[in-house]
């Protein structure tokens, strides 16, 4: 059995070596391209329309369904054609800077874009499912006060290829090609990594289309959740063009507190946001909207807050579930996590209001699985390395006779 297929449960966190070498050339990377875009690229490279159409269909199946990373593995394409393709195109994967496995089986990757920006991906295995937490941006422009990603300076949108590439890389690691409908470890995807997915709408949509394609990665939209901090004007489009499950980072029930912890609230308020949730297509009891609520001590965790949350959800008649997230602290964070007793009490009040409110169990603490933490640890390490080099240089200079 392939070692990478078993999720270790009782070992220390281990770095896992990368299997696929980084690409370093100017050939076009096909990952992230739609069928039409692949066909157009083939025509541009010289194939006639008919050949390009057929070849695009074969390549699509090989790349997204079978997980091929080399053209010479594409047995349904004649050998000379494979070589022709390999001269012009590549099938890439994100570059892995670090890959850690937690004692609880959680995996975390630090990935790097070709232009040198780092972002994260996390895989959380459970008894009956495995959830991949995918990033949509490097950093985030929204600056929620409890979120480490919001403190990062560097921001750029990830491309569709970089987004779907995360899922493909996870499949490589778990040994889960070709795409199968049943029995896979990677069964669910949440767009809850770094970044605000609705601020990178087109790329997120294009990537998720490939993930949901029956001859692509083949994951049903019911197994995909998009989390937004509340970009109200994009929510209707998300429903119309992507229509995956919706999660909303509510985190507070009064204007005063939400303005402070989710500054986007100053632009799109709570009532507007809840109305957009009520208008989201397909929301019903079988497909409830998840409200994420990070538990911050003495900030948003009172009994009144819980009762107000129930009232708001009822007012908008929302088929909803509340996910209570214990705050994951990071160095310099301006908040503390609510006590376990407070979190339980908060949860009970919501349950008594007839709304499910499970408490999320922290996972992968030993590998810093909270959003943004691995990236800053890596940055710190490189700063420490720089300091050490500077010291060495100084010491060397001091040795030079005057
Ligand atoms: N930008 C999107 C998706 C990424 S954040 C959004 O905000 O919804 C994914 C979830 O992690 C959000 O609910 C976010 O509020 C939560 N989160 C961020 N930092 C956290 C921390 N330090 N502790 C607990 N949850 C956190
Ligand atoms: Fe951005 Fe989401 Fe973090 Fe807010 S919680 S800063 S929207 S990643």
Q: Where along the chain do its domains lie?
A: 28-90, 95-394
Nearest ligand by distance to the CA of 138: 2
CATH fit for domain 28-90, picks 3.40.50.300, 3.60.15.10, 3.30.70.360, 1.10.150.530: 1.10.150.530
Worst-scoring range by mean pLDDT, 20-34, 272-286, 299-313? 20-34
Q: In the structure encoding, which two tokens stand for residue 241, read together?
A: 């063009």
What is the model's pLDDT at position 317?
95
Give the separation between CA 70 and CA 90, rounded to whole angstroms: 7
**Cβ of 141 below 6 Å from ligand 2:** no
Computed from CA positions of residues 251, 257, 261, 267, in that sequence, does the dihedral angle turn out positive or negative?
A: positive
Residue 353 near residue 310, CB atoms below 8 Å: yes
Question: In sequence order, what are the residues at sequence separation of 6 or more whose Cβ sits closer than 8 angstroms to the Cβ of residue 15?
Answer: 98, 99, 100
**Which tens digits make up the pLDDT trace of 340-377?**
999 999 999 999 999 999 999 888 777 766 656 667 66
Angle at the Cα of 254 from the Cα atoms of 268 and 340, rounded to 5 degrees: 120
CB-CB neighbours of 90 under 10 Å: 18
Give the separation between CA 99 and CA 16, rounded to whole angstroms: 5
User: Among 95, 98, 120, 260, which one carries the catalytic annotation?
Assistant: 120
Computed from CA positions of residues 144, 145, 148, 153, in that sequence, does the dihedral angle turn out positive or negative?
A: positive
- Ligand 1 atom nearest 323 alpha carbon: 13
- Ligand 1 atom nearest 142 alpha carbon: 1
Which residue, judged by its Cα, is nearest atom 8 of ligand 2?
A: 195
Q: What are phi and psi of 247, to 5 degrees?
A: -120, 140
Q: Do domains 28-90 and 95-394 have the same CATH topology?
A: no
Q: Is the per-residue pLDDT at 52 higher than 90? A: yes
- Ligand 2 atom nearest 148 alpha carbon: 3
User: Among 133, 140, 337, 371, which one carries the catalytic annotation?
Assistant: 371
CATH fit for domain 95-394, picks 3.20.20.10, 3.40.50.970, 3.20.20.70, 3.30.1330.60: 3.20.20.70
Nearest ligand by distance to the CA of 198: 1
The answer to whether residue 371 is catalytic is: yes
**Which tens digits make up the pLDDT trace of 251-303?**
999 999 999 999 999 999 999 999 999 999 977 777 899 999 999 999 999 99
Give the separation between CA 249 and CA 150, rounded to whole angstroms: 14
Greatest distance between any 2 Cα atoms in the chain: 80
What is the model's pLDDT at position 195?
95
What is the model's pLDDT at position 395?
52
Question: What is the value of pTM for the model shown?
Answer: 0.88
């Amino acid at each position: 059995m392939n070692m990478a297929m078993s999720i270790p449960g009782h070992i220390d966190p281990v770095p896992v070596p990368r299997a696929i070498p980084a690409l370093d050339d100017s050939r076009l990377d096909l990952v992230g391209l739609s069928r039409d875009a692949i066909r157009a690229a083939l025509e541009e490279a010289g194939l006639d329309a008919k050949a390009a159409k057929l070849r695009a269909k074969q390549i699509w199946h090989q790349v997204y369904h079978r997980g091929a990373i080399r053209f010479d593995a594409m047995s349904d394409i004649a050998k000379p054609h494979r070589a022709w393709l390999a001269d012009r195109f590549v099938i890439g994967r994100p570059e892995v800077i670090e890959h850690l496995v937690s004692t609880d089986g959680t995996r975390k990757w630090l990935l790097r874009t070709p232009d040198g920006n780092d972002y994260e991906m996390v895989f959380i295995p459970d008894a009956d499912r495995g959830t991949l937490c995918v990033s949509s941006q490097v950093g985030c422009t929204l600056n929620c006060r409890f979120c480490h990603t919001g403190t990062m300076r560097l921001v750029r949108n990830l491309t569709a290829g970089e987004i779907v590439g995360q899922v493909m890389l996870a499949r490589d690691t778990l040994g889960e090609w070709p795409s199968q409908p049943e029995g896979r470890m990677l069964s669910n995807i949440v767009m809850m990594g770094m970044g605000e997915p609705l601020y990178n709408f087109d790329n997120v949509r294009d990537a998720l289309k490939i993930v949901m394609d029956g001859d692509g990665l083949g994951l049903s939209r019911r197994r995909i959740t998009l989390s937004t901090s509340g970009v109200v004007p994009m929510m209707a489009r998300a429903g119309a063009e992507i229509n995956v499950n919706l999660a909303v980072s509510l985190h507070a029930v009064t204007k005063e507190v939400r303005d402070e912890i989710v500054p986007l609230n100053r632009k799109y308020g709570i009532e507007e946001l809840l109305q957009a949730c009520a208008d989201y297509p397909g929301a019903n009891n079988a497909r409830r909207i998840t409200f994420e609520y990070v538990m911050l001590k003495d900030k948003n965790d009172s009994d009144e807050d819980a009762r107000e949350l129930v009232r708001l959800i009822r007012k908008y008649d929302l088929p909803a579930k509340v996910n209570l997230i214990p705050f994951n602290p990071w160095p310099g964070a301006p908040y503390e996590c609510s006590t376990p007793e407070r979190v339980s009490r908060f949860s009970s009040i919501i349950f008594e209001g007839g709304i499910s409110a499970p408490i999320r169990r922290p996972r992968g603490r030993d590998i810093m699985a909270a959003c943004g933490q691995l990236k800053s640890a890596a940055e710190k390490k490189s700063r420490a390395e720089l300091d050490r080099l500077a010291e060495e240089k100084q010491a060397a200079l001091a040795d030079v006779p005057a």
